[in-house]
Structure 1
Amino acid sequence: MNERIRNILTHLIMSPNIKMAQLSKEMGLTRRQINYAINQFNDELLEKEFPQIERNHNGDFIVSLEIVKLLSPNQFTLSAKGEDTVYTEFERRSLIIIFLITNTTYISLDHLTDLLNVSKSTVMEDMKRVEAYVRNYGLLISYNRNEGYQVSGSEHRVLQLLSDLIKNESLFYQHNIKNIMAPNVLEEETLHLIHNMEQMLHVNYSDKSIEYLQSAVRFLIQRGLDLSNKKSNFFKGQVRDSPEFKFLRVLLDDYPWKLNTSYLEWLALLFLSSNINERKTTQVYDSDNTLISLITKMVDSFESQTLIKINERDAFERRILNHLRPACFRIKFNLNLGVYSESAIYEANYIVLNDLMKELIVPIENWLGKAFPNDELELLSYYFGFQLTNPSELNHTKPRAVVVCTNGVIVSKLMRENLDKLFPELHFLASFSVRNFYKFEDDYDVVFTTTPLQSNILQYIINPIMTLKEQVNLKYRVLKDLGINEIDSSVEDLLEIIREHALVNDTKDLRKDLEYFLLKIKQGFPLDDLNSLPSLTHYLKPHFITLTNEDLSWEEAISLSCKPLMEEQIIDEKFINDCIQQVRDKNYSSFLGMRTCIPHTTVENGVLKDGISILISKKPIEFPNGRRINFIFPLSFYDLTMHLKTVNQIADISNNVPLLDSLLEESDEKEIYQILRKIT
């Protein structure tokens, strides 16, 4: 079995309902290349009397269990965390359920052990908890000894379970988890759909709603694509009159997702039940007339019972509508409050409105035919009271940010992780290649990029790995540009006090130092915690260093640099093949400094353990883009949150020309290791 057919098989098994067009797009192969590879493999299967790969009349590929068994269990490297990270029982239970929901075919025990990175006996114990949990929703876990596990029961209850788990478990907001659960639905396209809905409806969803929708929309579409031919009638047309449903039906014509009407209704419900921070129009939809009338009566009752006259009442009622409308849909269709809870409820004095609100809400409860649960009622009391006194403070949506990095997947993820911690004032939604950014740039307010972009949105060109001083300077610039910087006035006050008691020779430098100090103590910075993270030599062993004076092609050099990691079973052959394939791409840019290359790939492409090796070539190696490289650092990383310090150190080494020159002069691997250990 060659590598191409192995990769094709992996795609077919991971996404059983994938179509030829999508398979071709994901693999970067033509239909002819895919068909040729499958036909060749079918000839081998025929000789060994195995069933062949077939296609049915719908264009679906049929891969038998015997063929699946030809692939080693390691092929399905799904685990989203590193080897040393352990999920809790509750996390494992939730992961199993969502994985069963987003994969509509039977899921084997091997799939689940790889997903959770635990033994088969642990998964079997977990399945008992899963079976008990899904029974609360009237669902069952079907088991077939030859094929595995599957969720069965009412599709309405399956999707309700999906929605509830996403709301109640923050695990599903992690980017790698989303990619595992919904491999056929791209993050950037999901975000684009959400932004298009905001544009069509003239609203801004709350930050928490955006986070929820990023996962819920992806997972729902993933399941809906597999079941597009299944007929269900969830709501009996109850959401089809909403503008959300009508706009989605139009918007989805431009996306590669074909959903039947039932799943389109549920998708509309996800938007209908999401909280809105701001509505940018006074337009009223006919479908909201009844609720608007009931809100007017509610406010009448409030004024008559409290003798409080509400100023700008029309605007107040519109803001209450922004909250009550999604709450009514959540209650009507039994969707849990989940992430919408506000901790401030229990700290604020607005809870005193709760008893009054129980009376005011009765007409709306009669209209819905359902009572408001306590958590929704408490949130409404808080919201109602807060709007009376602080309406402007509640309607605040963070600027939406995107990261564009040309230095490969590991550096890109590290950049996003670092910036996310550095800027709690921003909502980082995605990290893109340059090409994908231009397709979706209108969805964002701010971009942080390693290369200049032809874009009209606010952009900051930064180093992929920043020093603490660079972080502080960047933070000051960004907050100032966005008008949310509180440091300037404090700096002026401090300068005035200092001038009264001391002679200032350089006001400009003093101002910068004060800005640096105030930002640092006020915000805290990710690089402050680097000392607690592993250094380069934690991953690099003395025998992982290779010296060469030979004339090598870049392919030979990458293979040679990876050899120590291969011998230690830290990576497998897929790692090398994928890195070589990446370098062939004209846009490949995993370089640091002028003479260092950092080939790396993702867990599913051959990363088995954490480790780093180094090839030092005294003769420059010519890479396809014309770079002349002397140092190759293959990076094999599982948990990217642990490697920030190491990558910073490699970046420092790569930009230290005297150090690089001295390393090239060395002829002993042990001496090189000692030098690196000393400086890191």
Structure 2
Amino acid sequence: MQKIDQRTKHVLIKLIEKPVISQKNLMGQLRLSKVQIDYVITKVNEWLVDEALPPVWFDGNYYHLSDIGRLFLVEFFSGDQVYHHYEMDIEERKKYIYLMLFYHCEDYLSVNHFLEVLDIGKTTFINDLKKVEKELETIGVEINYDRKNGYSLSGDESVLRYQLMKLVLEDLRSDNGSFLWDYFLFNESSIEKDKMFQQIAMELERYSIVLVENRLLEFSYMLIFLLPRLTKEWSEFYDRYNFQTFYQTKEYVFSQSLLEKFSVESKYANLYICGWMLGMAIGNADEKTPDYSIINELVERIFDRFEQLSGIRFKEKAGVRKQLYSHFRPAYYRLFFNLPIINPLNEKIIKEYPDLFQIVKETMKPIANLFGTLIPDEEISFLTMHFASLINDNDEYQVKRKVGIIVCPNGIGSSAIIYNELKNLFPEMIFIGPIETNEIYHKKQDYDMIFTTVPNMRLYSLKKPVYTVNPIMSIDEKYGLVLEVQNGVRNFSNESSFEVFLSIINKYADVRDENGLRKELMKEIRQPKPLSRKRNRSSQDEDNDLSLTDILSPAFIQLNLSTNSWEEAFYVAATPLIESEIVSRRYIDKIIQTTFEEGPYMVISDLVALPHARPEDGAEKVGLGITVLKNPIKILGKTPMKYIFTLAAVDNRKHLTALAELVTLIDQSDFFEMLDSVQSSEEAYQWITDFL
């Protein structure tokens, strides 16, 4: 048979996912032209015909893969057959060259070794090698060659490992998945991958260390590739950190036990794996680990500051803090050890939750000072996902018909978000999960379809419709998914049913143009049905996103006021909102009562207070008042405030855009200079309007 390249592989996998798929959809998802797709389909059909299977049929709009052809391709990709017929492209070859140099660090590598496995000519290899060298130069890594030692890598060991981890994360969180890594191990290693993965999982269970499915996969692949290097002495790593608390952790004992199974004895390796594991394992606030006090203190600070900045007061504070702890503990160690992080949803999160992202970013600024560096946006967006799941309204809807099971191996944040997204898109459906991939094989409940955030060939063996979805979907993606489920696209993948339908027509009618009839019928079958209003409820009304100028007016701005106490200051600051019936007096009473119970929770930065209570405490509408005191006044005799931003919110969402804009303003030093110097409320309001 012909060679399979990456483009062909991607087209075939899309056909397996959706046996009936439009040309436009295929072009959009894979970013290929009609000519490119036609070329691939022609090659695929030659192969299918050679295997005595029906070719992929194109009706002018949609490609159709037969059921028997789909089963053949699932089997082909599920076993080792694909590795015998795969041809790497330039990007894959460059990555493969780095992996060979990294993995075979104790072996002699000559030009012939590369030529044989890459299946290319010497000139092509030299050109590829130069490109790899140029890319590695940017991170201070060199490729050396001499007759005695062959080809090898040289550079800071931490950088070499960081690069390896980064490559694993990028691939495993992309459409490429683990394919290239499996292909490499098939060609280069005698390791029994599945057996090793099982050993790692058993050791994790033995020491009660929890990794979500994808983190376990990432750790397992990384460990395989790191094993040949773990016996190297690495004193720089050992001397860099204070590891005393590490020796008391279960992660350290786990690391020792695991490495013994692979005959690795090295204090450097034990500590490295321990730190690495701490950066991946889910934290448990009920376990009083040696690092509990420091992690928990930071979580408290993050939680309190988020409440301050967002204007949201969580009811179940203890439960929210526990969930926050579970995410932040590994993030703390990723920052501590400068471990790579790849968040494939980063751009989508920033786009879909811009206001919440800005608030979380501001929340984390004091924490960033501890590490002496900015916290990467990827970490901020993970936290944003987490907070989005916490403030999402998890309304339960009565459901009577279809049952969907959600498979999400990505952890707490994205699991909660995809559940809420699907519940809002399909309120009439029952949803089971989210669960990890392996759990689906043990579920006794019956279900009609599978929604998964990560494509997985194993799911197709369950003979249920499988829908691959992003945890955070754009409006187009939501619309497309609803159409797919509504119209039962996968129900028409059985071509035999369609042929029966045609034969009935032929039996009772004189068909002049069967091909024309076939196209017209298929076109009608595929015609999108209009979305009902009920299905559209997930999209947030633009009217619900209130900007700062929507909830603020000149009448709510008070300048250069004097008060005798902090309690009086809060009442005075809220007076315009009370007079406008935005809040009741009870709302301010609750703020003062909470201050006595919890301290000055509303002080968000030097001299800046954001007093707020829950909607049920007397908030009637969304509003914001700005009050500037002539002189600072101390809350409870301790914490001074001068600038009071009184917030009224009626739910957890409508005010977030306005709050994000306020956070941006508070970051500007000239904002406070303006508040201290302007002569009128109208002038202050105009300044804010012009700035925004």
The interval holding the TM-score normalised by the smaller chain is: 0.3 to 0.5
Select the structure with the greater relative contact order (CA < 8 A; seq sep ≥ 6): 2
**Between Structure 1 and Structure 2, whose CA radius of gyration is higher?**
2
Give the structure-1-normalised TM-score: 0.45
TM-score by length of 2: 0.44
